Amino acid sequence: MMNAAIEKKPHQTISNPVKNQLHSLVAISQLAQQIDLPSFHIKSQHKGSLLSKFKGRGVELTENRPYEDGDDVRDLNWQVYAKTGRLHTKVYQEERERPVYLWVDVGPSMQFATQGSFKSVVASHLASLVGWYELKRHNRVGGVIASANSVSFFKAGKNRKNFLRFLHTLCLDKYGQDKQSSQTLYEKLKVLERVKQPGTAMFLFGDFLGWDQTCKKHIIRLSKHQDITLTIVLDPIELNLPSDGTYAFSNGHEQTLLDLSQKKILENYYSAIKNRIHDIRSLATYPNINTMMVFSNDHPLQKAFQKSEQIQNIFPKEGA
């Protein structure tokens, strides 16, 4: 359940709908103290699945820390409670060293919205929320920023300064100036191979334009050792294009005219996006993969991580 104070101000964390601003991403750190993200039903047996309902525990007790909301009651140290009268949680070595990586696509297709905020802004705010939440839980957080022509890798660290460097890079103006991508989606995803520690939690945010079977096989291969959550970020118009007319789309610098009166163009478009969504959603049948979906006009902190399985009526199921 979201904190009531958050619901009263549904847009308080996005100060600019077309560009990431550091103060906005930093402000989410306060909100991350007030909420608990939903438990992802990760089927993994990886130890230290911090966002799984059944959190794995390592074999070595390293310290006791004050109890925080959301801690597993099985980890409470009752001996410390008997001595101090205060609840403390046992911290195990594997839990403590579980890395979390945030992969954010800020390429040209993500610099778009007809409602709400740019998809890149929504994705960045969701990544920021997860990052601050994990730092609150004493986990190491790293990231990947995938743009049109480059992929920036940030090694996981425990401190706030390390994460602020990642957020600052998300706010660079250069990402909004990219016009065409010289990298395939697979090339953007391949950098995740640099994460070697088994049991790492990976959160991916993007529209996954360019998704193909090579991408799918790559994610499945990664999931053999990592826990992966893919969040599809779309603008509502992508699922319901206007018809019978010519429409102008602009990136703020150039304008493109799109003729949607041709039935064949619409059929090809809907077939492609339907296949992309269905193929990504099908990954949820694998043991260590979750899939989610949000829209550009959803407030990230209210609609975050709505399971894509709950969105039933976007397209008919295959074979329907």
- In 3D space, the residue among 39, 30, 22 whose CA is nearest the CA of residue 5 turns out to be 30
Q: Which domain holds residue 70?
A: 63-95
Q: Is residue 315 included in any domain, yes or no?
A: no
Shared-domain flag, residues 79 and 110: no
Can you name the residues that pair with 222 across neighbouring β-strands?
A: none
Shared-domain flag, residues 157 and 253: yes
Shared-domain flag, residues 69 and 204: no
Shared-domain flag, residues 67 and 177: no
Comparing 121-125, 163-167, 300-304, 315-319, the range with the smallest average pLDDT is 315-319
Q: How confident is the model at residue 52, as a pLDDT?
A: 40
**Number of compact structural domains in the chain:** 2
Shared-domain flag, residues 85 and 167: no
**Separation CA 129–CA 111 (nearest Å):** 20
Q: What is the CATH number of the domain that holds 206?
A: 3.40.50.410
Shared-domain flag, residues 253 and 118: yes
Q: Is residue 54 included in any domain, yes or no?
A: no
**Separation CA 116–CA 64 (nearest Å):** 43
pLDDT digit string, tens, across residues 35-81: 766 544 444 444 443 444 333 444 456 678 888 776 778 788 898 88
When pLDDT is averaged across residues 255-271 and rounded to a whole number, the result is 81
Q: Which stretch of DSSP H or E encloses residue 104?
A: strand 99-105
Shared-domain flag, residues 75 and 199: no
Q: Is residue 105 included in any domain, yes or no?
A: yes
Q: Is residue 199 included in any domain, yes or no?
A: yes
Q: Is residue 126 included in any domain, yes or no?
A: yes
Shared-domain flag, residues 207 and 243: yes
89-to-65, 66, 136 alpha-carbon distances in Å = 5, 6, 14
Residue 287: Cβ within 10 Å count = 12
- In 3D space, the residue among 289, 318, 299 whose CA is nearest the CA of residue 308 turns out to be 289
